[in-house]
Structure formats: C-alpha cells, structure tokens
Amino acid sequence: MKIEIVEDWLDDLIWCPSQCYLKIIHNNRWFIIYLRWRHSDPWRAYLCETSVGNTTFEPPGWDMHDPGYDWIDIPVDDFRDDQLVELKIAVMEEIKSLLLKV
C-alpha cells in the first residue's frame, strides 16, 4: 500500500490549543491527518478526506470542512503534550491499517 506524503507535518504548536496537519494521497484520494491537543483532553487524531488536492490548505483544495466528507476519529492512546513524535508514529500506523480497508 502506498501513501504519498505531500509535504511534511505542519505543526501549529501554541500549546493550548495545539494542532498538526499532514496532507496525504492514497489511491488518488486526498486526505488530511489532523491532530489536536487541548488542556481539557488528550491528543485526538482525525482523518479528513477532501475532494480536491492542491498545494495549500485554502479552498478549493485541502479543505478539512469539505461538505460530504466525514471526519474519521482515529483511536490513539493517551499521549502527553510532549509526546508528539510518538503520537505521529502511532497515528500513521493506524492510518495505514485503516486505509488498507479503503
């Protein structure tokens, strides 16, 4: 299975909230992996499909809020705010497993 990583992680780490994004392509489908951390809950991970791909996060492409596409909640263990590298590795493993089914 081939997952093409379009560009490296975009980390918006202001610590409350913190968000990270990774744009990927699989089977000619465009996705964003979205990680977020809040003081009130642990890291959460989502896979968001988009209808059009381009090189920005702005419409018409890479829009995480594309109508007609649901966010898929990716199960992850509880990672501390300082365990971002470990979280990214775990999320990529979950995404690979999930996309095998697509």
Q: What is the pLDDT of residue 59?
A: 45
Q: What is the pLDDT of residue 11?
A: 87
**Count of structural domains within the chain:** 1
User: Where in the sequence is the domain holding 51, given as residue range(s)?
Assistant: 4-82
At a CB cut-off of 8 Å and minimum separation 6, what does 102 contact? 26, 27, 29
Residue 33 lies in a domain: yes
Q: pLDDT for 30-89, tens place per residue?
A: 889 999 887 767 889 999 888 765 545 554 556 676 677 778 999 888 888 788 899 999
Residue 100 lies in a domain: no
Closest listed residue to residue 80, CA positions, set 45, 41, 47, 46: 41
At a CB cut-off of 8 Å and minimum separation 6, what does 7 contact? 23, 55
Residue 54 lies in a domain: yes
Residue 35 lies in a domain: yes
Residue 94 lies in a domain: no
Q: pTM of the predicted model, to two decimals?
A: 0.82
- Residue 91 φ/ψ, nearest 5 degrees: -65, -45
Residue 98 lies in a domain: no
Bigger pLDDT: 13 vs 79: 79
Q: What is the pLDDT of residue 73?
A: 92
